[in-house]
């Protein structure tokens, strides 16, 4: 034991010694106060590789935090706007979203990953990315930040650190994650914490990464380390978003819990009660706006960890801030965030249009200037890109970064180390053709398969590739699933089965269209009503109608809720249109889902096919009785399951 301690101390001294020459005395002291050799090793190897002029260690003291914030502006990576506390930042034209193609797993020779996952052999990938990182920070500062995913000191927490040369990234993480320098200093952090090494690479005079061709984002699950280079877009550079989520999913599935692409909201019901829901929606499909519904509270908007604690499903937010989409955010539909975005306080805007110190974005509900500065430089109406395509004033994936605590309805349990109990889990698809706006599954398994695993969506602008294609996006998390897809589905099924008290599972679809006219059948605010209906269901306060695809609301309940929640009259005709079971479309969907799993996930649990088959049988039964389009009134009147 003593010998082990000696080796440990010697190793730590070696790493620190290497760093001492390259660090100021105060920064060296801040670092040597941390008794974790892996921290010193990671920093010393990163410094050796990237060769920064200086290393700044952020201790989370008010002075250090203020320094990071100031440097983000002094460096020119962010620039101030007229409203106090507001700044803006630009990413390059080819760096406006998560990059699926350039994000890869490093897979060692002795291991194999699903072939659907983007990957490169580990040694080859490390050689490549380290080649790109070599000397990349010459003339610059490496900033070191210590953070925690999940509340500090809880069964949920995962300590992590990021070394970056971007003050914008170092500033953003301050709004998005819990500080953890103290947790690292007090030791107690297990050695498998997450590390991120990021460099924005060479920057032009507007402080934008100049070499998108050399962009690479590699995930090393052997060492729990992420490398990211020549990119600034938050989803690629802030290692703790989807990059760390990929590492977390592996860990969660090893340990029997769930790391999910989910928001968490507290829905306020009758008599002052509050019921928590977690919801998975693909990017750009209403997740954040669902979490922010006025009158409810927001606990998470992007990443949730779910654990079985004494048989109950409890959840926390991995983050404490929002990196939210700035498109169609307007005072009528999104009053909560609108207030934060327009009053003094800390907000980082990215890839918006800026004119006279004010930020503008698409769909903000007011006139947008005809010229200004955007991610392409000086912009004027009609400006075209190199392919002759017109450049919009702001990018469709423009973003804001804020602390959740800036929101008037931030949930008071945000930092509860035990998390909150979930009453319901929601899977939200973006489906113009098939699924009704809201329905409840017949069981945990039915919900996980028919709403979660079968989640189909039109792709959106949050990726750098084409939008508008239909694709299966299992639980909205497919891009980040780092284990075989079938195993991921099985773990979800088993997680629920081990619970003493299962949350109800719901499917929602905000994007249903009229089959003939193509018009959307719902108002953006209708989700307020669906949330209240789900709250009533969890608390056993309303009945529902059995449809072939799940329990659907009764007209009278929705009519009352529309009146109470939205102050509008809900017509029977609208109800019938929205809640008609579209048999043909649902049957076609089942075929697509089955095909997808057969082609892409060799270890799919048999149960998935059985549950889909049962749904097919139910659909065929009503088809025989009522045809392809079945009004909820028909389903309510008869026991259609009877022959
Ligand atoms: C998403 O695209 O799902 C986001 C933003 O939440 S990103 O950080 O890019 O993942
Ligand atoms: Mn997301």
Residues 492-544 have pLDDT tens digits of 999 999 999 999 999 999 999 999 999 999 999 999 999 999 999 999 999 99
For residue 5, the model assigns a pLDDT of: 67
Would you give the distance in Å from CA 627 to the centre of its chain?
Answer: 40
Structural domain 258-320+414-642, CATH architecture: Alpha-Beta Complex (3.90)
Q: What separation, in Å, do the N-terminal and C-terminal C-alpha atoms of the chain show?
A: 73
Q: Is 399 exposed, middle or buried (0-12, 13-18, 19+ CB in 10 A)?
A: buried
Which of 261, 289, 302, 480 to mutate to test ligand 1, by most ligand atoms within 8 A of the CB atom?
A: 302
Question: Which residue's CA is the closest to the ligand 1 atom numbered 9?
Answer: 235
For residue 2, the model assigns a pLDDT of: 60
Answer yes or no: are the C-beta atoms of 2 and 24 closer than 8 Å. Answer: no
Mean pLDDT along residues 227-245: 97
Is residue 549 lining ligand 1, measured as CB closer than 6 Å? no
The string over 373-391, giving b where at least 16 C-beta atoms fall within 10 Å of a residue's C-beta and e elsewhere, is: bbbbeebeeeeeeeeeeeb
Q: Locate the ligand 1 atom nearest the alpha carbon of residue 302 and give its number.
A: 6
Active-site residue flag, 50: no
Mean pLDDT along residues 280-289: 91
612-638 pLDDT tens trace = 999 999 999 999 999 999 999 999 987
Determine how β-strand 274-280 pairs with β-strand 504-509. unpaired
Is residue 440 lining ligand 1, measured as CB closer than 6 Å? no
Q: Looking at the predicted structure, is the pLDDT value of residue 454 above 80?
A: yes
Using the Cα atoms of residue 603, residue 605, residue 610 and residue 615 in order, give the sign of their dihedral.
negative
Is residue 559 lining ligand 1, measured as CB closer than 6 Å? no
Mean pLDDT along residues 51-79: 97
Q: Looking at the predicted structure, is the pLDDT value of residue 465 above 50?
A: no
Q: What is the C-alpha separation between 584 and 277, in angstroms, rounded?
A: 31
Question: Which ligand neighbours the alpha carbon of 398 most closely?
Answer: 1
Find the 507 Cα to ligand 2 centroid distance in Å. 18
Q: Quick one: the chain helix, strand, coil %, rounded to 5?
A: 35, 25, 40
For residue 305, the model assigns a pLDDT of: 98
371-381 pLDDT tens trace = 999 999 999 99
Answer yes or no: are the C-beta atoms of 35 and 187 closer than 8 Å. Answer: yes
Is residue 241 lining ligand 1, measured as CB closer than 6 Å? yes
* Element at 237 (helix H, strand E): helix 234-237
Q: Looking at the predicted structure, is the pLDDT value of residue 17 above 90?
A: no
Is residue 323 lining ligand 1, measured as CB closer than 6 Å? yes
Mean pLDDT along residues 249-262: 97
Q: What is the C-alpha separation between 227 and 245, in angstroms, rounded?
A: 14
Q: What is the C-alpha separation between 61 and 89, in angstroms, rounded?
A: 25
Determine how β-strand 371-374 pairs with β-strand 377-380. antiparallel
Ramachandran class of 363: left when φ > 0, alpha when ψ lies in -120 to 50, beta otherwise: left
Q: Locate the ligand 1 atom nearest the alpha carbon of residue 241 and give its number.
A: 8
Apex 298 CA angle, 292 and 303, nearest 5: 100
Q: What is the C-alpha separation between 625 and 617, in angstroms, rounded?
A: 13
For residue 255, the model assigns a pLDDT of: 96
Give DSSP secondary structure letters for 568-635: -PPPHHHHHHHH-EEHHHHHHHHHHHHHHHHHH-TT--HHHHHHHHHHHHHHHHHHHHH-SEE-HHHH
Confidence of residue 146 (pLDDT cuts 50, 70, 90): very high
Find the 399 Cα to ligand 1 centroid distance in Å. 10
Higher pLDDT, 465 or 17: 17
SS3 204: coil
Question: Which residue's CA is the closest to the ligand 1 atom numbered 1?
Answer: 283
In the chain, the percentage of residues whose pLDDT exceeds 90 is 88
Find the 318 Cα to ligand 1 centroid distance in Å. 14
Find the 99 Cα to ligand 2 centroid distance in Å. 13
Q: What is the C-alpha separation between 354 and 433, in angstroms, rounded?
A: 38
Structural tokens at position 1? 């034991």
Would you give the distance in Å from CA 166 to the centre of its chain?
Answer: 22
Give the contacts of 619 (CB within 8 A, at least 6 positions apart): 548, 549, 581, 583, 586, 587, 590
Average pLDDT, the chain: 94
Find the 235 Cα to ligand 2 centroid distance in Å. 9
Q: List beta partners, residue 113.
A: none
Mean pLDDT along residues 146-173: 97
For residue 1, the model assigns a pLDDT of: 56
Q: What is the C-alpha separation between 483 and 603, in angstroms, rounded?
A: 11
Q: Fold match between 2-76+102-255 and 258-320+414-642?
A: no
pTM score of the predicted model: 0.95
- Name the residue among 301, 137, 163, 296 with its Cα closest to residue 227: 163
| SS3 track for 19-87 | HHCCCCHHHHHHHHCCCCHHHHHHHHHHHHHHCCCEEEECCCCHHHHHHHHHHHHHCCCCEECCCCCEE
Question: Which residue's CA is the closest to the ligand 1 atom numbered 2?
Answer: 283
For residue 637, the model assigns a pLDDT of: 86
For residue 643, the model assigns a pLDDT of: 56
Answer yes or no: are the C-beta atoms of 212 and 185 closer than 8 Å. Answer: no
Question: Which residue's CA is the closest to the ligand 1 atom numbered 7?
Answer: 235
Q: What is the C-alpha separation between 559 and 539, in angstroms, rounded?
A: 19
Mean pLDDT along residues 578-601: 94
470-486 pLDDT tens trace = 789 999 999 999 998 99
- Name the residue among 401, 352, 397 with its Cα closest to residue 379: 352
332-354 pLDDT tens trace = 989 999 999 999 999 999 999 99
Find the 273 Cα to ligand 2 centroid distance in Å. 29
For residue 9, the model assigns a pLDDT of: 75
Catalytic member of 160, 195, 285, 429? 285
Q: What is the C-alpha separation between 454 and 427, in angstroms, rounded?
A: 10
Using the Cα atoms of residue 583, residue 595, residue 112 and residue 493 in order, give the sign of their dihedral.
positive
Which of 103, 172, 242, 327 to mutate to test ligand 1, by most ligand atoms within 8 A of the CB atom?
A: 242
For residue 113, the model assigns a pLDDT of: 87
Q: What is the C-alpha separation between 319 and 325, in angstroms, rounded?
A: 16
Answer yes or no: are the C-beta atoms of 10 and 41 closer than 8 Å. Answer: no
Which of 95, 96, 98, 261 to mutate to test ligand 1, by most ligand atoms within 8 A of the CB atom?
A: 98
Question: Which residue's CA is the closest to the ligand 1 atom numbered 4?
Answer: 283
Ramachandran class of 461: left when φ > 0, alpha when ψ lies in -120 to 50, beta otherwise: alpha
The CATH fold assigned to 2-76+102-255 is Phosphoenolpyruvate Carboxykinase; domain 1 (3.40.449)
Find the 519 Cα to ligand 2 centroid distance in Å. 27
Q: Looking at the predicted structure, is the pLDDT value of residue 462 above 80?
A: no
R_g of the chain, CA atoms, integer Å: 25
Is residue 287 lining ligand 1, measured as CB closer than 6 Å? no
For residue 528, the model assigns a pLDDT of: 97
Is residue 553 lining ligand 1, measured as CB closer than 6 Å? no
Answer yes or no: are the C-beta atoms of 114 and 484 closer than 8 Å. Answer: yes
Tell me the domain boundaries of the chain.
Answer: 2-76+102-255, 258-320+414-642, 323-406
Confidence of residue 22 (pLDDT cuts 50, 70, 90): confident
Is residue 235 lining ligand 1, measured as CB closer than 6 Å? yes
For residue 420, the model assigns a pLDDT of: 98
Q: Locate the ligand 1 atom nearest the alpha carbon of residue 233 and give its number.
A: 9
SS3 188: coil
Q: What is the C-alpha separation between 576 and 578, in angstroms, rounded?
A: 6
Lowest mean pLDDT among 11-15, 136-140, 407-411: 11-15
- Name the residue among 23, 106, 566 with its Cα closest to residue 333: 566
Q: Looking at the predicted structure, is the pLDDT value of residue 384 above 70?
A: yes
Question: Which residue's CA is the closest to the ligand 1 atom numbered 10?
Answer: 235
- Name the residue among 216, 144, 152, 205 with its Cα closest to residue 180: 152
Longest dimension (CA), the chain: 83
Q: What is the C-alpha separation between 80 and 86, in angstroms, rounded?
A: 6
- Name the residue among 169, 171, 192, 179 with its Cα closest to residue 148: 179
Other CB atoms within 10 A of residue 610 CB: 12
Ramachandran class of 272: left when φ > 0, alpha when ψ lies in -120 to 50, beta otherwise: left
Find the 31 Cα to ligand 1 centroid distance in Å. 31
Question: Which ligand neighbours the alpha carbon of 399 most closely?
Answer: 1
């Amino acid at each position: 034991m003593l010998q082990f301690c000696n080796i440990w101390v010697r190793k730590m001294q070696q790493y620190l010694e290497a760093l001492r020459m390259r660090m100021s005395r105060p920064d060296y002291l801040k670092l040597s106060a941390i008794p974790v050799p892996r921290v010193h090793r990671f920093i010393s190897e990163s410094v050796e590789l990237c060769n920064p002029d200086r290393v700044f260690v952020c201790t989370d003291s008010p002075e250090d935090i203020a320094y990071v914030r100031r440097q983000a502006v002094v460096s020119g990576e962010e620039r101030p706007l007229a409203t106090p506390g507001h700044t803006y930042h630009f990413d390059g034209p080819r760096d406006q979203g998560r990059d699926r193609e350039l994000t890869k797993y490093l897979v060692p020779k002795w291991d194999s990953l699903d072939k659907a996952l983007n990957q490169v052999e580990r040694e080859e990938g490390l050689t490549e990315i380290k080649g790109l990182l070599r000397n990349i920070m010459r003339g610059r500062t490496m900033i070191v930040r210590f953070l925690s995913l999940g509340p500090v000191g809880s069964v949920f927490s995962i300590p992590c650190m990021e070394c970056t040369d971007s003050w914008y990234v170092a500033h953003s993480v301050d709004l998005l994650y819990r500080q953890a320098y103290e947790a690292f200093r007090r030791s107690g952090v297990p050695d498998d914490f997450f590390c991120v090494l990021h460099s924005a690479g060479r920057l032009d005079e507007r402080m934008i990464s100049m070499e998108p061709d050399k962009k690479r984002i590699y995930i090393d699950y052997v060492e729990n380390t992420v490398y990211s280079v020549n990119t600034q877009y938050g989803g690629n550079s802030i290692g703790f978003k989807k990059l760390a989520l990929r590492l977390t999913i592996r860990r969660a599935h090893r340990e029997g819990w769930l790391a999910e692409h989910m928001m968490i909201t507290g829905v306020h019901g009758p008599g002052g009660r509050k019921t928590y829901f977690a919801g998975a929606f693909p990017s750009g499909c209403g997740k954040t706006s669902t979490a922010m519904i006025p009158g409810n509270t927001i606990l998470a908007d992007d990443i949730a960890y779910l654990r079985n604690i004494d048989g109950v499903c409890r959840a926390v937010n991995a983050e404490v801030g929002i990196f939210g989409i700035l498109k169609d955010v307007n005072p009528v539909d999104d009053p909560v965030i609108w207030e934060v975005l327009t009053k003094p306080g800390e907000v980082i805007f990215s890839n918006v249009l800026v004119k006279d110190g004010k930020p503008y974005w698409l769909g903000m509900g007011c006139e947008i200037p005809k010229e200004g500065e955007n991610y392409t430089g000086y912009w004027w109406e009609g400006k075209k890109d190199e392919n002759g395509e017109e450049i919009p004033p702001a990018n469709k994936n423009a973003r804001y970064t804020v602390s959740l605590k800036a929101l008037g309805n931030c949930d008071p349990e945000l930092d509860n180390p035990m998390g909150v109990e979930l009453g319901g889990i929601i899977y939200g698809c973006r489906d113009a053709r098939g699924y009704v706006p809201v329905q409840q599954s017949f069981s945990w398994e039915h919900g996980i398969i028919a709403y979660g695993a079968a989640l189909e969506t039109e792709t959106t602008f949050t990726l750098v590739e084409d939008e508008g294609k239909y694709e299966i996006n299992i639980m909205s998390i497919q891009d980040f699933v780092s284990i075989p897809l079938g195993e991921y589905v099985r773990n979800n099924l088993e997680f629920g089965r081990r619970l003493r008290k299962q949350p109800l599972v719901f499917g929602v679809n905000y994007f249903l269209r009229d089959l003939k006219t193509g018009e959307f059948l719902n108002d953006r605010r209708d989700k307020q009503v669906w949330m209240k209906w789900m709250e009533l269901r969890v608390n056993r306060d309303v009945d529902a109608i059995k449809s072939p695809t799940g329990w659907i609301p009764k007209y009278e309940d929705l009519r009352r809720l529309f009146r109470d929640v939205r102050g509008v009259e809900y017509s029977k005709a609208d109800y019938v249109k929205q809640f008609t079971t579209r048999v043909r479309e649902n049957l076609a969907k089942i075929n697509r889902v089955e095909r997808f799993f057969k082609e892409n996930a060799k270890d799919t649990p048999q149960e998935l096919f059985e549950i889909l088959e049962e749904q097919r049988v139910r659909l065929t039964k009503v088809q025989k009785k009522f045809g392809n389009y079945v009004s909820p009134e028909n389903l309510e009147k008869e026991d259609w399951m009877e022959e």
